[in-house]
Amino acid sequence: MFATVLMGIALLQADSITRADLAASYLRFEQAMEAKPPGESSLRSISQAFDSATIAFFTGRNATAIEAIDSQTRLLTGTPLDEADLWRFKVRVKPSIVQSDKPFNVTTSILRMYGETSSRLIEVKLRHTRMVKEISLGAIQTGIPGFASLSIESITLPEGQYEVTVSSGGFSMTAGHVFACKELPSTAKARFEREIEALPEGADSLLVDAVKSRIELLKDEPSEGNSAEFLANPIKLMESIEKQIESLKQGKNPFAEGQGDFWIRLRGSTAFPVRIYVPNTKATKLPVVIALHGMGGDENMFLEAYGAGLIRRLAIPKGYLLVSPRTEAFSGSQENVRALLTFLEKAFVIDKERIFLVGHSMGAGAAITVASRTPELFAGVVAIAGVRSFSPDQSFPPVMFVAGELDAIASPAQMRRVFDSAKAAGAATEFKVYEGLGHTMVVAAALPTALDWLLTRKPSGG
């Protein structure tokens, strides 16, 4: 095994900080909130600081946003400064997907995302998530502006998922994953495409297209800007697609017996991505919760963030099919709304009279817009920290409005005016304000009560 160390002095550019880096920081914060909820005295300041980070993200200041989020995570967890210092380094191992038991060359790079330059020796290892097996990728000395990288030639990995672990000064963290697959995603993709083309006539085109869209996620190097690609486990994805194609060959519904996560792309007036979570439940007919994310988010926001994916965890005990489309595309076209509902009816056994909408911020306004166009399709709506006016002559399903006391983006006063307009329009409405919370952290606080309220709505709108 031969190693070479490469040092660079190019400064880290803002566009080097990707959606994957923001996601890692945000999820670390949400997991800290879940593990150790703050007391009332500190909740207000944490919530306000997080909203400031949100505004930095909205305005394209990604490094500032990550630094602000990491600062709050450190306060929540009591993490020592020397350990938290590791969080500000972006660590990437390339390639992140390899063919198992076949030699490959690997490059590890470390870039400082924010803060002053610090000199420390950072060791990087790969740890198999199931086997007791660790592989050292070497140690990198930081301390210059910009980046450092380490290249190693000709290593092999047994099949499986590996955590990228980073250690320094007695502290360590997980900084990503590497997957060793039986075959590369590009090879599997070509094989799956041939099998799809050879399907017998009569296969449902909508279901076939959904499976084909899953095949498009197979990349030998996932994009850091596409969260569906970097969140998906390629080993499980290839296994799932293989089973779905076999179902199509037998003339069966490829989604009928699936559980867990599905990323698909549907087409109405435009193509739009959707993430679906099917809970492990014995229910024969599932109500549907459609979750619409806020500005800057995507179809993974509700399922990974907002209380560390609280809405996803609640799907099993509360028994609902969770569906999260890309908000802008879904709400911007009634054809896209109908394309999603048509797919859900074909792919899963759903309760068509119990389809609900939950939205945050921009997603709240989108949920109200979608429900106002076709109120007969939805049994209830929850609008969290988002506004949209109601006209007096429109019909509308029951709606709950949720505001955070400290929200400077969608204030309680704004939310109450919308509530009043909905009430004047004759809609069955409720209004809740959560004290000590701002624009984003109010979502996790509101979800358990909001979902219970939704799931008790009757098809008649009661």
Final residue before a domain boundary, out of 230, 252, 274: 252
This prediction has a pTM of 0.92
Q: What per-residue confidence (pLDDT) applies to 145?
A: 58
**291 and 362 together in one domain:** yes
Q: Are 291 and 390 in a shared domain? A: yes
Structural domains of the chain, count: 4
Distances in Å between the alpha carbon of 12 and those of 92, 202, 294, 327, 419? Answer: 14, 53, 28, 32, 46
User: Does residue 449 belong to any structural domain of this protein?
Assistant: yes
- Chain centroid, CA 174 distance in Å: 18
167 shares its domain with 198:
no
Pair 238, 107 in one domain? no
pLDDT confidence of residue 458: 72
* 158 domain-assigned: yes
Instruction: Say if 460 falls within a structural domain.
Output: no
Joined together, the tokens standing for residue 69 give 């989020």
Residue 147: per-residue pLDDT: 65
CA pair distance 255, 124, nearest whole angstrom: 39
| Under-50 pLDDT residues of the chain | 1-15, 460-462
Domain co-membership, 207 together with 321: no
Task: Render pLDDT for 280-326 as a digit per residue (tens, 0 to 9).
Answer: 877 779 999 999 999 989 999 999 999 999 999 999 999 999 999 99
What is the pLDDT at residue 320? 96
pLDDT for position 146: 59
> Domain boundary residue among 197, 218, 252?
252
Instruction: Tell whether 462 is covered by a domain.
Output: no
Which residues does 125 contact at the CB level (< 8 Å), separation at least 6? 134, 135, 136, 137, 164, 165, 167
Do 131 and 272 share a structural domain? no
Query: Are 317 and 435 part of one and the same domain?
Result: yes
- Same domain membership, residue 173 and residue 195: no
Residues 283 and 332 grouped into a single domain:
yes
Q: Are 151 and 106 in contact (CB under 8 A)?
A: yes
63 in a structural domain? yes
Q: Are strands 97-99 and 171-181 parallel, antiparallel or unpaired?
A: parallel
Specify if 139 maps to a domain.
yes
For residue 461, tell me if it sits in a domain: no
Looking at the fold, whether 209 and 311 belong to one and the same domain comes out as no
Same domain, 68 and 116: no
Position 144 scores a pLDDT of 58
Residues 333 and 322 in one domain: yes
Domain that holds residue 121: 89-181
Identify the domain boundary among 24, 54, 87: 87
Q: Could you tell me if residue 297 is inside a domain? A: yes
Report the CATH number at residue 393: 3.40.50.1820
